[in-house]
């Protein structure tokens, strides 16, 4: 029928606009490398902040003692403690507690938020049992992962630049570095970390003398971890659609975090919803009336999208159930459900391929995208975040695309590795590798 034809036109146009042929991905990767240079050259030199983290000692595995960490992510925060036993014994004990942040605190003052966090931390510390031993004469040391952009002024201080991911807290404005530290603790070849969760970010190890904007003393290690804040990357080469522009314009941070808005978990489902909404309004895709639920921003969350996308039942039962439960749309035909799976695929594929291009950009900056004669360099990228962890189609697509762009020979030297819970443990490990008692 005419309606179906019109609906398919919308899908087809969307698919074309989302296209990520290898040539385009190379342009994105090159633009990422260029912006990395610019951000390192001067403060404000690029959309990429390329923040100096003051982390100049990544954990080696030799750390010993009791360390705490606090991990403030998108929706909840965790407190944890680890007992480190050095090279032989590694992580002897660990314990954590997850606390959700009351919604009222997410939009209140930062004082109220941090008071709450401090009180929860104090409770946790008070419950420390005999499995954890603080060396005599020491105070407890705490690492803090804070997955928001912070302009640091030392290893232990900094200013929040702005809230992202649905937080809006006035007054003030990083878990990627923790993931890098967590990865390095167990594998010395870890050189970069990428988070794909609610939001997205990357960090990597830079040579200290390759940071022109840094005028301080060069660290002994000769290295400095850079928090890229890559979510704010943008480039004319990014394939953006009218849906992306509308999502951005209606977001809490219009014009910002453009790359994050096409690759990260907070937004993928919402992009699918917007396309479905248009199909429903202009092509009566779900019948004569637009299902009211479909008009609600962010009702279609990325975990639901991934469940639909990865539905392997012959009649797409999962898709049917999600449509019914979440969008209150029943009696969909198999043909309709297939189109929805296809939409999920378009959005996830674009996101995964663009994140692979970003990783290639980092590898280029580090000079790890080619083989050096006589060198047997192995490079590990530590990955973490719920999107990477749970959306296997996305993860597979990212890995395949990276290998495709690198070519077989180089791809054999690059390993993408899930760094389990790097962000929490990583903070504790950083407290250890920067301990005041060293």
Are 136 and 65 in contact, with CB atoms under 8 Å apart? no
Q: Does the footprint of ligand ADP cover residue 182 (CB under 6 A)?
A: no
Tell me which long-range contacts 369-376 makes (C-beta under 8 A, separation of at least 24).
369/406, 369/410, 370/410, 371/409, 371/410, 371/413, 376/413
Q: Which two tokens stand for residue 30?
A: 């090159």
* Interaction pattern, residues 60-99, with ligand ADP; x per rule: CB under 6 A: -------------xxx------------------------
CA–CA gap between residue 269 and residue 278 (Å, rounded)? 14
Q: What Cα–Cα distance (Å) separates residue 414 from each residue in 122, 225, 353?
A: 42, 19, 17
Range 182-241, binding Mg ion (CB under 5 A): 197
C-beta of 40 vs 193, nearer to Mg ion = 193
CA–CA gap between residue 416 and residue 405 (Å, rounded)? 14
CA–CA gap between residue 363 and residue 86 (Å, rounded)? 31
Largest Cα–Cα distance of the chain, in whole Å? 79
Q: Return the H-helix or E-strand segment holding 99.
A: strand 91-100
Q: Does the footprint of ligand ADP cover residue 183 (CB under 6 A)?
A: no
* Interaction pattern, residues 57-86, with Mg ion; x per rule: CB under 5 A: ----------------x-------------
Q: Does the footprint of ligand ADP cover residue 419 (CB under 6 A)?
A: no
* Interaction pattern, residues 141-180, with Mg ion; x per rule: CB under 5 A: ----------------------------------x-----
Q: Which of 181, 180, 191, 227 is nearest to 414 (CA)?
A: 191
Could you tell me which stretch among 33-41, 79-87, 196-204, 206-214 binds ligand ADP (CB under 6 A)?
196-204
CA–CA gap between residue 145 and residue 340 (Å, rounded)? 37
N-terminal to C-terminal alpha carbon distance within the chain: 74
Burial of 409 (0-12, 13-18, 19+ CB in 10 A): exposed
For residue 386, the partner it binds in ligand ADP, Mg ion, none, with Cβ less than 5 to 8 A by kind, is: ligand ADP
Chosen residue from 198, 349, 413, 419 binding ligand ADP by CB under 6 A: 198
CA–CA gap between residue 415 and residue 410 (Å, rounded)? 10
Range 116-155, binding ligand ADP (CB under 6 A): 147
Residue 197 C-beta: closest distance to Mg ion, Å: 5
Residue 359 C-beta: closest distance to ligand ADP, Å: 17
Instruction: Tell me 47's DSSP state.
Output: S
For residue 45, the partner it binds in Mg ion, ligand ADP, none, with Cβ less than 5 to 8 A by kind, is: none
Question: Measured at CB, which residue is nearest to ligand ADP?
Answer: 265
Range 262-281, binding ligand ADP (CB under 6 A): 265-266
Q: Does the footprint of ligand ADP cover residue 302 (CB under 6 A)?
A: yes
Q: Does the footprint of ligand ADP cover residue 306 (CB under 6 A)?
A: yes
Residue 117 C-beta: closest distance to ligand ADP, Å: 15
C-beta of 39 vs 73, nearer to Mg ion = 73
Length of the chain: 438
Chosen residue from 18, 300, 387, 414 binding ligand ADP by CB under 6 A: 387
Q: Does the footprint of ligand ADP cover residue 391 (CB under 6 A)?
A: yes
Could you tell me which stretch among 10-18, 197-205, 339-347, 363-371 binds ligand ADP (CB under 6 A)?
197-205
User: What percent of the residues of the chain are helix, what percent strand, and what percent coil, each to the nearest 5?
Assistant: 45, 20, 35
Q: Which residues bind ligand ADP (CB under 6 A)?
A: 73-75, 147, 197-199, 265-266, 302-303, 306, 385-387, 390-391
């Amino acid at each position: 029928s005419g309606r179906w034809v019109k609906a398919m036109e919308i899908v087809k146009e969307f698919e074309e606009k989302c296209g990520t042929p290898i040539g385009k991905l190379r342009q994105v990767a090159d633009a990422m490398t260029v912006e990395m240079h610019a951000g390192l050259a001067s403060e404000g030199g690029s959309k990429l902040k390329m923040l100096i983290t003051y982390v100049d000692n990544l954990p080696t595995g030799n750390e010993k003692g009791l360390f705490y960490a606090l991990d403030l992510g998108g929706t909840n925060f965790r407190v944890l403690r680890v007992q480190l036993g050095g090279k032989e014994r590694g992580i002897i004990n660990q314990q954590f507690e997850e606390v959700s942040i009351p919604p009222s605190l997410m939009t209140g003052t930062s004082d109220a938020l941090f008071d709450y966090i401090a009180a929860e931390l104090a409770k946790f510390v008070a419950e420390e049992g005999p499995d954890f031993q603080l060396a005599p004469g020491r105070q407890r040391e705490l690492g803090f992962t804070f997955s928001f952009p912070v302009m640091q002024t030392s290893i232990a201080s900094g200013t929040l630049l702005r809230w992202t991911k649905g937080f809006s807290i006035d007054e003030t404005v990083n878990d990627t570095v923790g993931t890098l530290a967590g990865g390095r603790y167990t594998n010395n070849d870890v050189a970069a970390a990428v988070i794909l969760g609610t939001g997205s970010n990357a960090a990597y190890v830079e040579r200290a003398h390759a940071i022109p904007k840094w005028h301080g003393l060069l660290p002994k290690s000769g290295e400095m971890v850079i928090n890229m804040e890559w979510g704010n990357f943008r480039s004319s080469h990014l394939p953006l659609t009218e849906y992306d522009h509308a999502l951005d314009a209606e977001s809490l941070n219009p014009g910002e975090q453009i790359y994050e808005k096409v690759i990260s978990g907070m937004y993928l489902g919402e992009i699918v919803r917007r396309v479905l909404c248009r199909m429903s309004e202009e092509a009566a895709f779900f019948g004569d009336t637009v299902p009211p639920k479909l008009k609600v921003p962010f009702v279609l969350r990325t975990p639901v999208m991934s469940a639909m996308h990865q539905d392997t039942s012959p009649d797409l039962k999962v898709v049917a159930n999600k449509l019914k439960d979440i969008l209150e749309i029943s009696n969909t035909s198999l043909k309709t459900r297939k189109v929805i799976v296809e939409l999920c695929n378009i959005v996830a594929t674009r996101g995964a391929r663009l994140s692979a291009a970003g990783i290639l950009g980092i590898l280029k900056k580090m000079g790890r995208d080619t083989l050096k004669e006589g060198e047997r360099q192995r490079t590990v990228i530590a990955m973490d975040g719920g999107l990477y962890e749970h959306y296997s189609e996305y993860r597979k697509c990212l890995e395949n695309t990276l290998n495709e762009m690198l070519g077989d020979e180089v791809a054999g030297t690059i390993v993408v590795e899930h760094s389990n819970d790097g962000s929490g443990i990583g903070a504790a490990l950083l407290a250890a590798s920067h301990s005041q008692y060293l």
